[in-house]
């Protein structure tokens, strides 16, 4: 028999059942042959398939899991491949027959929800803060409490963002106590253009602390920009039939922050808003317009698919159908319902758990939940996230859509089976 390896093309064609494009199968075949392992081509193709974006089941109990895309979306970003081709009126005024504004759709709806005069959408909240500072404070001071000079995931550091925007950081107060007078003194002596209030995101300072209210800070003589980060629209949660859940108490909301006198708020689209990754700037029309005119606005602007998804989410809020937004549907399920589903799985031990919002939102806050426990510390795999503690693996059903319960139960059974039975 000849030891001659198969041709790259014939080996690639034998992998056609994977569904990957032929060009990628050629890459897998070529790499396998070069490694002297033609039989490993199928494994390489499978590994490539697993590396692509795909749906996963999140059983970690972290509602806004950054590694899993944060807020789960209930709408597909694109239609099926064979869907009719459609354009949109992204930047076209169909009434006037002239060029339009891409922010006139989702932006107008988001402004309505926030009680703002106007709103602007960019690609994430870090971009929103950078744009606001660059447009409103370049070359001048920005007063920030020392207790809010935070670093959050991905290396977002407030001092560095201020520097990159072209503004100058003016630190006020102390780590644990900052008063209105600290900001007022900076405004009087340090050529301050803005006061910036920063959501502490993924940590809390407790004990001997003090911070001025938004209403107090709005009176120091320059605009107040409040980066509320998490994206809660209204503390009344009018989109939820049962009103705001107890675990949400104390979280700053866009509507109330603006009503208290903030000139602008900035927040994320993919956290408590429950939409796609985006950054929203909302508030006084004149300030939003200045941001929109800045050169960075074009570099940071959101694309058509993001704006369409945000429009869909905003309309759902305006219809007050919170249960149609996956984040709120998952976050507000009763523990009794979760325990009933856990019992129906028929595998593992039903147990009480504590979920969290995650995504740098509501640090330290736990949401009562339920799920199952499996013996053994099993690493997450197969696209399914789980929590591991000690020698047990916990699957929290608060972050699992009921439509995925059967798949989760099957995965749990395989994980629990003896190695020879899997």
The confidence score (pLDDT) of residue 72 equals 86
Q: What's the 3-state SS for the chain?
A: CCCCCCCHHHHHHCCHHHCCCHHHHHHHHHHHHHCCCHHHHHHHHHHHHHHCCCCCEEECCECCCHHHCCCCCCCCCCCCCCCCCCCCCCCEECCCCEECCHHHCHHHHHHHHHCCCEEEEECCHHHHHHHHHHHHHCCCEEEEEHHHCCEEHHHEEHHHHHHHHCCEEEEECCCCECCHHHHHHHHHHCCEEEEEEECCCCCCCCCCCECCCHHHHCCCCCCEEEEEECCCCCCCCCCCCCCCCHHHCCCCCHHHHHHCCCCEEEEECCCCCCCCCCEEEEECHHHHHHHHHCHHHHHHECCHHHHHHHHHHHHHHHCCCHHHCHHHHHHCCCHHHHHHHHHHHCCCEEEEEEEECECCECCCCCEEEEEEEEECCCCCECCEEEEEECCEEEEEHHHCCHHHHHHHHHHHHHHHCCHHHC
**Residue 339 pLDDT > 70:** yes
**Residue 81 pLDDT > 60:** no
The confidence score (pLDDT) of residue 89 equals 80
The confidence score (pLDDT) of residue 35 equals 93
CA distance 153 to 126: 11
Closest CA to 292 of 139, 131, 92: 131
The fraction of the chain above a pLDDT of 70, given in percent, is: 91
Question: How long is the chain?
Answer: 422
Place 156 in a pLDDT band, splitting at 50, 70 and 90.
confident
Residue 126 neighbours by CB distance under 10 Å: 20
Please write down the long-range contacts of 135-138, taking CB distance under 8 Å and 24 or more positions apart. 135/290, 135/291, 135/293, 135/294, 135/296, 135/297, 136/193, 136/194, 136/223, 136/225, 136/287, 136/290, 136/291, 137/165, 137/166, 137/167, 137/193, 137/194, 138/165, 138/166, 138/167
**Residue 78 pLDDT > 50:** no
**Residue 95 pLDDT > 70:** yes
The confidence score (pLDDT) of residue 202 equals 66
Most confident option among 110-114, 374-378, 387-391: 110-114
Task: Say which residue the tokens 């590694």 belong to.
Answer: 67
The fraction of the chain above a pLDDT of 90, given in percent, is: 68
The predicted-structure confidence for 197-220, as pLDDT tens digits, reads as follows 998 776 777 888 888 999 999 999
**Residue 383 pLDDT > 90:** no
The confidence score (pLDDT) of residue 406 equals 95
CA distances from 329 to 82, 178, 325, 402 (A): 31, 38, 6, 11
The predicted-structure confidence for 119-148, as pLDDT tens digits, reads as follows 999 999 999 999 999 999 999 999 999 998
**Residue 390 pLDDT > 70:** no
The confidence score (pLDDT) of residue 237 equals 96
The predicted-structure confidence for 34-67, as pLDDT tens digits, reads as follows 999 999 999 999 999 888 888 888 999 999 988 8
**Residue 114 pLDDT > 90:** yes
Token code pair at residue 130: 């950078």
63: left (phi over 0), alpha (psi -120 to 50) or beta: alpha
The confidence score (pLDDT) of residue 387 equals 65
Token code pair at residue 40: 């490993």
Place 96 in a pLDDT band, splitting at 50, 70 and 90.
confident
Closest CA to 232 of 257, 197, 204, 211: 257
Domains of the chain from N-terminus onward: 57-69+333-421 (3.90.1150.180), 96-324 (3.40.640.10)
Place 77 in a pLDDT band, splitting at 50, 70 and 90.
very low
Cβ-contact 234, 226 below 8 angstroms = no
């Amino acid at each position: 028999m000849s030891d001659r390896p198969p041709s790259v093309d014939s080996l690639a064609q034998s992998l056609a059942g994977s569904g990957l494009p032929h060009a990628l199968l050629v890459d897998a075949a070529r790499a396998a042959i070069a490694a002297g392992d033609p039989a490993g081509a199928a494994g390489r193709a499978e590994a490539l398939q697993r590396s692509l974006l795909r749906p996963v089941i999140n059983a970690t109990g972290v509602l806004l899991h950054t590694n899993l895309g944060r807020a789960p979306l209930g709408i597909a970003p694109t239609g099926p491949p064979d869907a009719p081709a459609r354009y949109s009126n992204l930047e076209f005024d169909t009434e006037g027959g002239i060029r339009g504004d891409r922010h006139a759709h989702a932006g107008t709806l988001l402004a309505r929800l926030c009680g703002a005069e106007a709103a602007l959408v960019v690609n994430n909240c870090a971009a929103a803060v950078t744009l606001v500072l660059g447009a409103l404070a370049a070359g001048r001071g920005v007063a920030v409490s020392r207790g809010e000079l935070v670093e959050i995931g991905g290396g977002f550091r407030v001092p560095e963002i201020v520097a990159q925007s072209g503004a100058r950081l003016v630190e006020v107060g102390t780590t644990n106590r900052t008063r209105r007078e600290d900001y007022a003194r900076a405004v009087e002596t340090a050529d301050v253009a803005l006061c910036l209030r920063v959501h502490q995101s993924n940590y809390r300072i407790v004990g001997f602390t003090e911070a001025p209210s938004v209403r107090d800070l709005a009176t120091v003589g320059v605009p107040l920009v409040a980066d509320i980060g998490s994206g809660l629209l209204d503390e009344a949660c009018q989109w939820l039939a049962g009103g705001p859940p107890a675990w949400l108490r104390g979280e700053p909301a866009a509507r109330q922050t603006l009503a208290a006198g903030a000139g602008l708020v900035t927040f994320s689209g993919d956290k408590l808003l429950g939409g796609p990754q985006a950054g929203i700037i909302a508030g006084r029309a004149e300030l939003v317009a200045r941001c929109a005119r800045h050169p960075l606005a074009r570099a940071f602007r959101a694309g058509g698919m993001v704006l369409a998804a945000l429009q869909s989410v905003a309309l759902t809020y305006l219809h007050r159908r919170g249960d149609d937004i996956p984040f709120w549907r998952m976050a507000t399920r009763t523990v009794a319902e979760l325990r009933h589903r856990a019992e129906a799985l028929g595998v593992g031990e039903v147990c009480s758990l504590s979920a969290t919002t995650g995504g740098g939102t509501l640090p330290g806050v736990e949401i009562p939940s339920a799920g199952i426990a499996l013996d053994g510390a099993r690493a997450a795999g197969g696209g399914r996230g789980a929590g591991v503690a000690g020698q047990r693996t916990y699957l929290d059903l608060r972050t699992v859509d009921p439509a995925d319960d059967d798949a989760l139960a099957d995965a749990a059974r395989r994980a629990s089976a003896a190695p020879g039975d899997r």
